[in-house]
């Protein structure tokens, strides 16, 4: 969990350096093999500075991957008008394609079925966004459908990253899109 306020530009720069260093480290080795000493050396900050901003490497990793959560939420809601029930919006296809460079890190934080620290963040943010949109539209069972959308997307994403589902980025984007469109249409 980040301790410093987001309005402090120095703290924001330090956290950005730590996030970048973590992503660079994870490009070379699995998260489980990354140590705080190597990370802070790469980031050019002291060990104490790391602990001012993060409780542990996992909290830094979730923060570093938070952009993927925002991108997922935006990609799922990028369509306008009536959605194509078969083909995912381009943003959703691009989202799945963009996961490859850090797929191992995402797998470490997103367990099969959509759990894990990144899965919890993804589910929370996607459910909140979906709930707001459904309530604004006056849709029936807004909370139920928002929960189902979040769980479905997080689960499919995690299972695909873990190799439990076949298909390339475009195919899996289309398949999860079809599920989500059906969920929205069912209520």
How would DSSP label each residue in 145-181? HHHHHHHHHHHHHHHHHTTSS-S-HHHHHHHHHHHHH
96 vs 117: CA distance, rounded Å: 19
Per residue, what are the HEC states of 70-98?
HHHHHHHCCCCCCCCCCCCCHHHHHHHHH
Phi, psi of 111 (to 5 degrees): -80, 160
pLDDT at residue 69, rounded to an integer? 82
Which of 72, 83, 85 has its CA nearest to residue 169?
72
pLDDT at residue 4, rounded to an integer? 45
133 vs 75: CA distance, rounded Å: 14
Distance of CA 111 to the CA centre of its chain: 12
Give the contacts of 82 (CB within 8 A, at least 6 positions apart).
none
pLDDT at residue 82, rounded to an integer? 77
Report yes or no: 105 and 61 within 8 Å, Cβ to Cβ. Answer: yes
Would you write out the chain's pLDDT as a tens digit for each of its 187 residues? 444 445 689 999 999 999 999 999 998 999 999 999 999 999 999 999 999 999 999 999 999 988 888 888 888 877 777 778 899 998 899 999 999 889 999 999 999 999 999 999 999 999 999 999 889 988 889 999 999 999 999 999 999 999 999 999 999 999 999 999 888 876 5
pLDDT at residue 186, rounded to an integer? 63
The pTM assigned to this predicted structure is 0.84
pLDDT at residue 8, rounded to an integer? 85
């Amino acid at each position: 969990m980040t301790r410093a306020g987001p309005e402090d530009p120095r703290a924001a720069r330090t956290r950005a350096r730590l996030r970048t260093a973590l992503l660079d480290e994870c490009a070379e080795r699995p998260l489980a093999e990354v140590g705080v000493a190597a990370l802070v050396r790469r980031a050019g900050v002291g060990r104490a500075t790391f602990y001012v901003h993060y409780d542990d490497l996992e909290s830094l990793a979730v923060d570093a991957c938070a952009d993927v959560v925002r991108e997922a939420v935006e990609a799922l809601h990028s369509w306008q008008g009536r959605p194509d029930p078969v083909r995912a919006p381009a943003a959703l296809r691009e989202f799945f394609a963009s996961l490859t460079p850090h797929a191992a890190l995402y797998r470490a934080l997103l367990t099969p079925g959509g759990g894990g620290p990144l899965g919890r963040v993804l589910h929370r943010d996607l459910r909140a966004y979906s709930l707001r949109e459904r309530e604004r539209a006056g849709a029936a069972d807004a909370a139920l459908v928002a929960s189902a959308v979040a769980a479905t997307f997080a689960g499919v994403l995690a299972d695909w990253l873990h190799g439990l589902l076949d298909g390339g980025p475009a195919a899996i984007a289309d398949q999860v899109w079809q599920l989500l469109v059906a969920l929205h249409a069912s209520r």
